[in-house]
Structure 1
Amino acid sequence: MTGKYGLILKNGRVVCPAQGLNGVMDVAFADGKVAAVGANLTTPATEVVDVSGHVVTPGLIDMHTHVYWGATSMSLDPLEMAYLSGVTTMVDAGTAGPGNFLGFRHFVIEPSPVRIIPFLNIAFPGIFAYSKAVMVGECGDIRLLDPKECVRVILENRDMIAGLKVRVGRIAGGNSGIIPLDLTLAAAEETGLPVMSHLDDPPPTRKEVLDRLRPGDILTHCFKPFPNAPIRSDGEIFEEVKLARDRGVYFDIGHGAFSFGIRVARSMLEQGFAPDIISSDVHALNRNGPVFDQMATLSKFYCLGMSLSDVIKASSTTPAAALRRPDLGTLKPGSHGEATIFKIEEGSFEYKDALSETLDGKYRFRCKGLVMKGRYGAAPATAEELPRMFDRRIARCNCC
């Protein structure tokens, strides 16, 4: 692309696994797109931001969030979490179901400056009762699970819905066992979409779930502690876990409040079984710990020994593939004008998992800015600055 750029990010360490890039260079944007990536870009630009000492990546993707803000008890403000998490795409993991999806679409997704890609919950009301005071699993009553309604809503919103979500397990499904997953898979077959399956405590078992998942489906909470952990008591990986990966099932972290174990992660990584996707499952009950945000979740895996390129790949290239969105997760010229800028801080940082076990880390990722639609926005320096940023957003809102 020739002519004047709208924005150049100068002198950052550019990490773009989709293109095999990992080095100091510049990234230019024009007309809301990535225009060029290279050393010493000199074409005049409207804005030049020196990001020396920072990492520049494609706009990161958090594959598991809950952002039906204001309508469900567990959901968070997507713009606030985007700047804390350093993401430009948030995948909502089934907060809305067929009965309330239109509200999610019209009042949250469409006005949002941050891209939100929804998975539709098999349960008609979505995740309707998830709070400290009230906790009712949406799959505990099979009367709420109607594949025909899911198919109808998906066909009416094919431009937006990327897949189906189901929460199976004793906590989310009571005594319903494997039935919610089977109903979800039926709707997925009818619409040609992937399934993201949550798994908490049995029933059903890990094997029952994994044996059913198809190539391109996603197991979230894949490094959860016992019960339904992917490893035996001696640390060895269960055979059905290996077979599912060989079959093309994606393994997604989905950290959450109860679904990530540091011991499990260490064992899996030592055996060469890294997660395909690293996501936070951030929601109202874990945003103040142990999850906090996607930056903290990525930091844990960097401290556990994954390379920077592999960590970024698990929050860009691979989730883009799972979403069937090759236009995302890349800084290829002509792609969406999105980027994440963050700092790798060195020090002594304590991280916790779902069991309150700790990881003493030497590094922490801290988001410093985002590029969306080719425009740069610096992340707020302190939490106290966040409300003022949202006041400005509300003032600009033209959705009502």
Structure 2
Amino acid sequence: MTHTYVLQNLQVTTGEKVDIIIRGNQIQHITNAGQGAAPTAYDYSGCYVSKGWIDLHVHANKKLEPYGDELDLIGVQQGVTTVVDAGSCGADSVSDLFPTTDSAKTNLLAFLNVSTIGLQRIDELSNLDWLKEAALLETIAVHPTKIVGLKVRMSKSVVKDSGIRPLQIARSWAKRTSLPLMVHIGSGPPDITDILPQLEKGDIITHFLNGKANNLFSEDGQPLPELLSAINRGVRLDVGHGTASFSFQVAEYAKKHAIQPFSISSDIYRGNRQNGPVYSLADVASKFLLLGYSLPQVIDAVTLLPAQAIGRPELGQLKTGTTADLTLFEVRPSQQMLTDSEGKTRTAKQMIHTVGVIKNGEIITS
């Protein structure tokens, strides 16, 4: 027998209060608060609701050290219903990411590392022999519903003497497969002004608020002309906070110039979940409330917009007839100290706390 229940007195980010009736694993109806009826009712007065959060940049291969973690620990147990692994695995090891049987409840998608070895080494683009087009195409063909893009890490420690060539190869493969390219930026060379012109509409720059010398802003806080040109042609900006890739100062430069993240993501893995400065996607999102972004802007950046970036718009739409993947959360007054990737701090006046998720119709508390 299909279970039907109602979540009562929830609030969406624009202020309306709603009841949501769920039947099986589908949203059956969304109505004004107080008007929803079902055999079982759960009162969530004081809670917000959104479509299930999407973390566009995680590392979810539990076999990898240090860049790995248990899927549900960075997913449903933190209020996130879908995570997108950002290049942990290449063609050689993607079976580690997508085992044939998995009891995890979190939805897992992935950007495939263009290097066959993935993050088995941290210099995976230093040898161009590890970039094998046939292996990449075969892997995508085996996992067409799971692989949503390609990942290339363009920083000095990764490419070493390969220069810009891995990006050029990855860009051609992205075009051939009609998949977006997620490009990690960090320390140079390659210089950021050589990387940005290679990117096309729908590609994603991750770590765009990093404070390293090779970042997207000048020393006096002005956005690089190449960045503005990339934005104008439809390149998307992803936070990818991580251990070393988010600076409050650079984020303040971006806010001043109305350059806002397309997606807020964590770059979470075991170490920065347990020891900071990431902890959770909710903590990262709270930093953007602190920076002055509105709650609707912040929640769109963990639902609607990342869903669009990976070509799965239904994952980001809170509406009748869609899968019952929801995130329930509160915004609480706070005096919590938040730390960026450079050890700089700011004090948050409010924090986002996840209460739980509805995943395929099942209620899972955080």
TM-score, structure 1 normalization: 0.87
Once residues 298 and 33 of structure 2 are traced to their aligned partners in structure 1, the CA distance between those partners, rounded to angstroms, is 27
The correspondence of residues 132-211 of structure 1 with structure 2, limited to 5 A, is 136-211=122-197
User: Which blocks of at least 5 consecutive residues in structure 1 are unaligned?
Assistant: 16-20, 130-135, 380-400
Structure 1 residues 153 and 358 mapped into 2: Cα distance closer, same or farther (>3 Å)?
A: same
SS of the residue aligned with 1:28? strand
Aligned to 1:311: 298
Alignment of 1:199-278 (within 5 A): 199-278=185-264
8 Å Cα contact 2:357/2:363 also seen in 1: yes
1:281 and 2:267 are equivalent in the alignment: yes
Query: How far apart, CA to CA, are the structure 1 residues paired with 2:24 and 2:313?
Result: 20
Question: Structure 1: how far apart are the matches of 2:164 and 2:42?
Answer: 52
- Using the alignment, how far apart are the partners of 2:139 and 2:279 within structure 1? 32
Query: Closer, same or farther in 2 for the Cα pair 1:168/1:56, shift >3 Å?
Result: same
**8 Å contact from structure 2 (residues 19, 36) kept in 1:** no
Contact 2:6-2:36 at 8 Å conserved across structures: no
- d(CA) in 1 for partners of 2:351, 2:316: 22
Q: Specify which of 307, 323, 344 is matched with residue 310 of structure 2.
A: 323
**Does the 8 Å CA contact 2:51/2:326 hold for their aligned counterparts?**
yes
- Give the aligned residue type for 2:108: I
**Does residue 1:97 correspond to 2:90, yes or no?**
yes
SS at match of 2:272: coil
Distance 1:183 1:285 in 2: 32
Tell me the secondary structure at the aligned position of residue 97 of structure 1.
Answer: coil
Aligned to 1:387: none
- Name the SS of the counterpart of 1:106 in structure 2: coil
Gaps of 5+ in 2: none
The CA deviation at 1:102 is: 2.2
What is the match of residue 8 of structure 1?
Answer: 6
Q: What amino acid maps onto 1:88 in structure 2?
A: T
- Confirm or deny: 8 A CA contact 2:17 2:33 kept in the other structure: no
Aligned amino acid, residue 14 of structure 1: V
Aligned to 1:128: 120
- Give identity over the alignment, percent: 30
**Deviation (angstroms), 1:144:** 1.5
CA 43–199 in structure 1, closer or farther in 2 if over 3 Å, else same:
closer
RMSD: 1.7
CA contact 1:14–1:25 (8 Å) conserved in 2 = yes
Q: What is the CA–CA distance in structure 1 between the aligned matches of 2:7 and 2:157, rounded to whole Å?
A: 46
Letter in 2 for 1:336: T
Q: Conserved in 2, the CA contact under 8 Å of 1:147 and 1:183? A: no
- Residue type at the aligned position of 1:49: Y
* Structure 2: distance between partners of 1:153 and 1:207: 32
Q: Which residue of the partner structure matches residue 291 of structure 1?
A: 278
The TM-score with structure 2 as length reference comes to 0.95
Please name the residue that 2:73 is paired with. Answer: 80
8 A contact 1:211–1:240 mirrored in 2: yes
